[in-house]
Chain A
Amino acid sequence: MDLEYSLIIPEFIMAGLAVLIIAAALAFRQVDQKWFGYATAAALAAIAVGTALAYWDTHDDFANVLAIDHFTVLFRVFFLGIAFFTVMAAVQFAGDRLKNHAEFYGLIVFATLGMMLLGASRELLTAYLSLELLSFSFYILVGFNKLNPFSNEGSLKYMLLGAFSSALMLYGISLIYGVTGTTLYSGIEPDAAAAGRNIADQLASYAGLSGGVDPEATRPGLLIGLVLITAGLGFKVSAVPFHQWTPDAYQGAPLPITAFLSAGGKAAAFAFFLRLFSEAFLPAAGEWVWFVSILAAVTMIVGNLMALQQTNFKRLMAYSSISQVGYLLVGIVALDAANIAQSQDAASALVLHLIGYVTTNIAVFAAIIAFYNRTGRDDIVDLRGLAERQPFLAFAIAAALFSLAGMPLFAGFATKFIIFQAAFNNGFLWLGAVGVTASFVSLYYYLMVIKQMYLYEPEGADRERFHVSRPLAGALVVLVAGVLFIGLYPTPLFDVIHSSTEGLFEQASAMAAAVAGR
Chain B
Amino acid sequence: MDVGEALLALLLVPGGAMLLTLFVPSRHADVVRYISLLTTTATLVISIYVFAVYDFAEGGYQFNLQYPWIENIAFLGENGISLHLAVDGIAAPMVLLNGLVGFAGVLVSWKITHRVKDFFILFLALFTGVYGVYIGQDLFFWFFAYELAVLPMYLLIVIWGSTNKEYGAMKLTMVLVGGSVLIFIGIFAVFAEAGAGTFDMAVLREVNFGRSFANTFFPFFMIGCGILAGLFPFHTWSPDGHVAAPTAVSMLHAGVLMKLGAFGIIRLGMEILPAGTDFWMPVLLVLGGVAAVYGAISAIHQTDLKFVIGYSSVSHMGFVLMGLGTMNNIGVNGAVLQMFSHGVMTALFFAMVGGLYDQAHTRDIRVFGGLVRKMPLFVIFFGIAGLTSLGLPGLSGFVAEFHIFVGAIDTFPLFAALGILSAALTAIYVLRLMGRAALGPFNPRWENLKDISRLEIIAGIVLIAPIIAMGVWPDPFVDRIAQSVADLPQVEQIGQAFSLSSLTGR
* B185, A433: Cβ atoms closer than 8 Å: yes
B188 and A450: CB pair below 8 A?
no
- Residue A35 lies at the interface, judged by CB distance under 8 Å to chain B: no
Cβ B185 vs Cβ A443 within 8 A: no
Q: How far is A345 from B159 in the complex, measured between Cα atoms in Å?
A: 42
Are A494's CB and B192's CB within 8 A?
no
Residues B188 and A447 in contact, CB atoms below 8 Å apart: no
Q: Could you say which of A98-106, A141-149, A193-201, A417-425 contacts chain B?
A: A417-425
> Of A408, A420, A489, which one neighbours B148 at CB under 8 angstroms?
A408
CB within 8 Å of B: which A337-352 residues: 342, 344-345, 348-349
Contact A455 B147 (CB under 8 A): no
Q: Which of the residues A408, A451, A489, A491 comes within 8 Å of B151, measured between beta carbons?
A: A408
A440 touches which one: B69, B73, B178 (CB < 8 A)?
B178
Interface pair A454/B151, CB less than 8 Å apart? no
Q: Which residues of chain B come closer than 8 Å to A429, judged between CB atoms?
A: 185, 188-189
Q: Is residue A215 contacting chain B, with contact meaning CB distance below 8 A?
A: no
- In the assembled complex, A411 has its CB within 8 A of some CB on chain B: no
A477 interface contact, C-beta 8 A: no
Residues of A within 8 A of B189 (CB): 424, 429
A398 to B173, CA, bound (A): 15
Task: Please report whether the interface of chain B is mostly helix, strand, loop or mixed according to DSSP.
Answer: helix
Whether a CB of chain B sits under 8 angstroms from the CB of A432 is yes
Residues from 126 to 180 in B contacting A, C-beta threshold 8 Å: 129, 140, 143-145, 147-148, 151, 154-155, 158-159, 166, 170, 173-174, 177-178
Instruction: Indicate if B191 sits at the interface (CB-CB under 8 A).
Output: yes
- Counting chain A CB atoms within 10 Å of each CB, the highest count among B159, B173, B178, B184 belongs to B184
A270 at the interface (CB under 8 A from B): no
Known contacts A407-B151, A432-B185; A491 and B173 CB within 8 A of each other:
no
**Nearest CB of chain B from residue A103's CB, rounded to whole Å:** 41
A 479-500 contacts with B by CB, 8 A: 489-491, 494-495, 498
B161 CB to closest chain A CB, in angstroms? 10
What is the CB-to-nearest-CB distance from A447 to chain B, in angstroms, rounded to a whole number? 6
Given contacts A408-B144, A413-B144, A491-B69, contact A421 B191 (CB under 8 A): yes
- The answer to whether A447 touches B173, judged by C-beta atoms less than 8 angstroms apart, is yes
In the complex, residue of chain A having the shortest beta-carbon distance to the beta carbon of B179: A440
> Is B1 at the interface (CB under 8 A from chain A)?
no
Contact A413/B155 with A421-B188, A455-B166 known, Cβ cut-off 8 Å: no
Interface residues of A in 417-455 (CB under 8 A from B): 417-418, 420-422, 424-425, 429, 432-433, 436-437, 439-440, 443-444, 447, 450-451, 454-455
Once the chains bind, are A451 and B158 in contact (CB under 8 Å)?
A: yes
A391 at the interface (CB under 8 A from B): yes
With a CB–CB cut-off of 8 A, which chain A residues contact B70? Answer: 490-491, 494
Binary contact readout A344-374 vs B (1 if CB under 8 angstroms, 0 otherwise): 1100110000000000000000000000000
Chain B, range 272-317, C-beta contacts under 8 Å to A: none
Nearest Cβ distance between residue B24 and chain A, in whole angstroms?
Answer: 13
Per the bound structure, the CA–CA distance linking A425 and B189 in Å amounts to: 9
Question: Known: A409-B148, A424-B192, A454-B155. Is A440-B74 also a contact (CB below 8 A)?
Answer: no
- Taking CB atoms, residues of chain B closer than 8 Å to A443 are 173-174, 177
B182-198 at interface with A (beta carbon < 8 Å): 184-185, 188-189, 191-192
Contacts of B148 in A (CB 8 A): 408-409
* CB pair A451 B166 closer than 8 Å: yes
What CA separation (Å) do A349 and B70 show in the bound complex?
A: 13
Contacts of A455 in B (CB 8 A): 158-159, 166
Q: Which of B74, B140, B159 contacts A417 (CB 8 A)?
A: B140
Residues of chain B within 8 A of A494, CB atoms compared? 70, 73-74
* CA–CA, A450 and B155, complex, Å: 9
B26 within 8 A of A: yes
In the bound assembly, the distance between CA atoms of A451 and B178 in angstroms comes to 19
- A402 contacts chain B at the CB level, 8 A cutoff: yes
0/1 interface trace, chain B 184-214, chain A, CB 8 Å (1 if under): 1100110110000000000000000000000
Q: Are A454 and B158 in contact (CB under 8 A)?
A: yes
- The chain A residue with its CB closest to the CB of B154 is A447
A498-B75 Cα distance, complex, nearest whole Å = 11
**A344 in contact with B151 (CB, 8 Å):** no
B170 contact set on A, CB distance < 8 A: 444, 447, 451
Taking CB as reference atom, which chain B residue is nearest A416? Answer: B184
B461 interface residue per 8 A CB criterion:
no
Query: In the complex, A447→B155 CA distance in Å?
Result: 9
Is B181 in the interface zone, CB < 8 Å from A?
yes
From B73, B174, B188, B192, A498 is in contact (CB under 8 Å) with B73
Q: Which of A425, A432, A444 contacts B75, CB < 8 Å? A: A425
Is the pair B188, A440 in contact by a Cβ cutoff of 8 Å?
A: no
Q: Is the CB of B144 within 8 A of A422?
A: no
Chain B residue with the shortest CB-CB distance to A451 = B158
A-chain residues with CB within 8 Å of residue B154 when the two chains form the complex: 447, 450
Most buried by A among B26, B143, B155: B155
Residues from chain B with Cβ under 8 Å of A489 in the complex: 69
A334 to chain B, nearest CB (A): 10
> How does the 8 Å CB contact mask read for B1-44 relative to A, with 1 for contact and 0 for none?
00000000000000000000000001000000000000000000
Contact B188–A424 (Cβ < 8 Å): yes
Q: How far is the CB of B390 from chain A (nearest CB, A)?
A: 38
Write the chain B residue with the least CB distance to A490: B70
Which of A348, A429, A443 has most B Cβ within 10 Å? Answer: A443
* Chain B residues with CB under 8 A of A387: 115, 118
B6 to chain A, nearest CB (A): 22
B73 and A495 contact, CB distance less than 8 A: yes
Interface string of B45-78 (1 = CB under 8 A from A): 0000000000000000000000001100111000
A349 proximity list for chain B (CB < 8 A): 74
**A436/B181 contact (C-beta < 8 A), A348-B74, A417-B140 known:** yes
A476–chain B nearest beta-carbon distance, Å: 15
Q: How far is the CA of A100 from the CA of B151 in the complex (A)?
A: 45
A425 and B73 contacting across the interface, CB-CB below 8 Å: no
Given the complex, which residues of B lie within 8 Å of A344, measured CB to CB?
Answer: 74
**In the assembled complex, which residues on chain A have CB atoms less than 8 Å from the CB atom of B178?**
440
Do the beta carbons of A440 and B177 come within 8 Å of each other? yes
The distance from the CB of B172 to the nearest CB of chain A, in whole angstroms, is 11
Bound Cα distance from A345 to B191, whole angstroms: 15
Which B residue sits closest to A417, measured CB to CB? B140
Alpha-carbon gap, A426 to B33, bound state (A): 50
Give A491 to B73 CA distance when docked, in angstroms: 9
Which residues of the partner chain B approach A432 to less than 8 Å between Cβ atoms?
Answer: 185, 188
**Contacts of A371-402 to chain B: CB distance below 8 A:** 387, 391, 398, 402
- Among A348, A349, A409, A422, max chain B CB count under 10 A is at A409
What 7 new A-B contacts, CB under 8 Å, besides A429-B189, A437-B181?
A: A398-B155, A409-B125, A417-B140, A421-B188, A440-B178, A443-B174, A454-B158
User: Which residues of A pack against B, CB within 8 Å?
Assistant: 342, 344-345, 348-349, 387, 391, 398, 402, 407-409, 413, 417-418, 420-422, 424-425, 429, 432-433, 436-437, 439-440, 443-444, 447, 450-451, 454-455, 489-491, 494-495, 498
11 contacts between A and B (CB under 8 A): A408-B129, A408-B143, A408-B144, A409-B125, A420-B184, A436-B181, A443-B177, A447-B170, A455-B166, A490-B70, A494-B70
What 6 pairs between A and B have smallest CB-CB spacing? A345-B74, A424-B188, A408-B144, A408-B147, A408-B148, A440-B181
